[in-house]
Amino acid sequence: MDHMPDPLQPVLGGDEPFDATEFEVESRAELDALLAKHTLAGLVVLGLRLDRDPPDMSGVDVHDTLFVGCEFSGPDVETDLIRRGAHVVPPLDGLPYATHPAVLYTPEDLAAGFDGAGFAGMYDTAVYDHFVAHGGAVPDIREALAQRLHDAGIDNALGKALAAWAKAHGQEGAVGIMGGHAAPRGSSAYRMAASLAQRLAGQGRLIVTGGGPGVMEAANLGAYFASRTQEDLSAAIDALAEAPHFLDHEPYTAAALSVRAAFPLPDLDLAGRLQHGGLALPTWLYGHEPANLFAGQIGKYFSNAVREDSILRLARGGIVFAPGWAGTVQEIFQAATKTFYATDGPSGAYVFLGVEHWTALPVAELLRPLLARSPHGDQSGLIVVTDSLDEATAALIRS
């Protein structure tokens, strides 16, 4: 994959600032500060490009240091570290992705390559093509190990991103927004989800989606416009509606990049990027769907099961279910199980957005008697079915 751009330089230990993870070293600056103290003993060094301007670690205590996914200048360096008590889990050769990303993806990471080679040349597409070529959901053992290392890195990076959010915005629960992936740009469901997300993000709530197209893109788009007017959001949706269907990969992606260019964000810290775009947790299992390029941070997984559980686990401030079908219904009952047993603590509102849709598909009516029998007390009052953005916002802000 030498012909691909290198969108993951920040992921592989670029100029990221020091973080609060005491035992993890995730940037070259942090490593250099520790090398000056002559010890890395007991620490975990994640995904650094140590083949670039190789550091001198000859006099450094590396007893029980774990190097995961780091690039070294040669095998002799790895051998020396192991002889002196370190453990090395190297990146596997021939992969288009980092085996232990230290930070979440950005839209720029996933879209890298589009300008020169179109959708087929994007980083996101290259990883998906590799995923398919190596067995998809049933990879060979070598690929399976690499994918699980990658997803463990995303888990770790997600925890740090959420800590940055909580430090800036407090412990208010995140709001999950789910719904049909096929909702066209410009449709009523798309506009409602975008408008609601804009309101919630503007009031300091973290928007969490599954990172796909349709309602999910609309929600991240709304959060992207958290500090702009409703008129700006409407204009952006009108522009996106020129390429309404995600199966038209090339124009669909080009329209998203064009809107981002027309409505650029200022330089933001990690918490600011999460407010302006929210968090998306997509999966390469559905990699035939174009990347959602409006999320502020993207935790893209190979494992669909892990990413689905993560979305529902995070959305403790309530969940919006915009019109959707089988996938959305599955997520409704996965969420209901967590609420029924209070698996992840108290639950926020269940807002079913679109009365006509949820009357024809009466999931809420089935959910009420179930949640009423929760061993933690009657939870059926959490359910709100509405067409009103005001009512939806009030229910979620209350949560």
Identify the CA nearest to 382 among candidates 316, 324, 322, 328. Answer: 316
Instruction: Please report, rounded to a whole number, the percentage of residues in the chain having pLDDT higher than 70.
Output: 95
Q: How many domains does the chain have?
A: 2
pLDDT at 125 over 90: yes
Question: Which of 71, 89, 107 is at the close of a domain?
Answer: 89
- Judged by average pLDDT, the poorest of 152-156, 217-221, 336-340, 366-370 is 152-156
Range of the domain at 279: 173-398
pLDDT at position 26:
86
Question: Which of 72, 89, 106 is at the close of a domain?
Answer: 89
Q: What is the CATH number of the domain that holds 349?
A: 3.40.50.450
pLDDT at position 149:
93
- Which pLDDT tens digit goes with each residue over 90-118? 888 899 999 888 889 999 999 999 999 99
Identify the CA nearest to 300 among candidates 121, 120, 98, 57. Answer: 98
Residues 180, 79 share a domain? no
- Mean pLDDT, rounded, for 76-81: 97
Residues 180, 67 share a domain? no
Identify the CA nearest to 174 among candidates 322, 330, 310. Answer: 310
pLDDT at 36 over 70: yes
- Which pLDDT tens digit goes with each residue over 250-303? 999 999 999 999 999 999 999 999 999 999 999 999 999 999 999 999 999 999
pLDDT at 136 over 80: yes
Residue 303 lies in a domain: yes
pLDDT at position 5:
36
- Mean pLDDT, rounded, for 30-43: 95
Residue 96 lies in a domain: no
**3-class SS string, 41-75:** CCCEEECCECCCCCCCCCCCECCCCEEECCECCCH
pLDDT at position 20:
56
pLDDT at position 4:
40
**Amino acid, res. 376:** H
Residues 310, 179 share a domain? yes
Burial 67-97 (b: 16+ CB within 10 A, else e): bbbbbbeeeebbeebeeeebebeebeeebbb
The structure's pTM equals 0.91
Residues in CB range of 164: below 8 A, 6 or more apart: 269, 270, 271, 274
Residue with tokens 């020396």: 80
Distance (Å, whole) CA 61 – CA 121: 43
pLDDT at position 244:
98
pLDDT at position 171:
79
Question: Which of 65, 89, 113 is at the close of a domain?
Answer: 89
Instruction: Please report, rounded to a whole number, the percentage of residues in the chain having pLDDT higher than 90.
Output: 87
pLDDT at 3 over 90: no
pLDDT at position 399:
61
pLDDT at 17 over 50: no
Residue 114 lies in a domain: no
**Phi first, then psi: what are they for 23, rounded to 5°?**
-105, 5
- Which pLDDT tens digit goes with each residue over 140-191? 999 999 999 999 999 999 998 999 999 999 878 899 999 999 999 999 999 9
**Amino acid, res. 281:** L
